[in-house]
């Protein structure tokens, strides 16, 4: 059963304007005082269940660029970037 977030991401992917436009959604962790925990991205996912994990030694920018290239080639329009290392 798809979660509400997965359903929303899938709907965004279906409604995107052009094949090379990729919407980026950032999900960040917060501390107990609702401040963003500044950490680099570790995982990128799509509503279709595909995911990319950051490789050892890969910079955050290179990681995001790699995922965007591969997503664009696969016709994926929405990427969810998370700084949660265990998600």
For the entire predicted model, the pTM comes to 0.63
Distance, CA of 12 to CA of 7 (rounded, Å): 9
What confidence score (pLDDT) does residue 15 get? Answer: 63
| pLDDT for res 59 | 92
Q: List b or e across 67-79, with b for residues whose CB sees 16 or more CB atoms inside 10 angstroms.
A: bbeebeeeebbbb
Q: List the chain domain ranges.
A: 4-82
pLDDT at 58: 93
- Close Cβ partners of 6 (under 8 Å, ≥ 6 residues apart): 47, 49
pLDDT at 19: 44
How would you write the pLDDT of the chain (87 residues) with one tens digit per residue?
567 878 887 777 666 544 456 777 777 777 777 777 777 888 888 877 788 999 999 998 899 889 888 888 888 888 888 776 554
Instruction: Name, in order, each residue with C-beta under 8 angstroms of 30's C-beta and a sequence gap of 6 or more.
Output: 36, 37
Q: What letter would DSSP give residue 31?
A: -
Residue 11 tokens read as 């709907």
Q: Coil, strand, or helix at residue 86?
A: coil
């Amino acid at each position: 059963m798809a979660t509400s977030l997965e359903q929303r991401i899938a709907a965004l992917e279906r409604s995107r304007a052009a094949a090379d436009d990729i919407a980026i959604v950032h999900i960040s962790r917060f501390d107990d005082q609702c401040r963003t925990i500044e950490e680099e991205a570790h995982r990128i996912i799509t509503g279709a269940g595909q995911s990319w994990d950051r490789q050892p030694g890969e910079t955050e920018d290179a990681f995001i660029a790699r995922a965007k290239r591969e997503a664009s080639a696969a016709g994926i329009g929405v990427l969810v970037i998370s700084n949660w290392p265990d998600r």
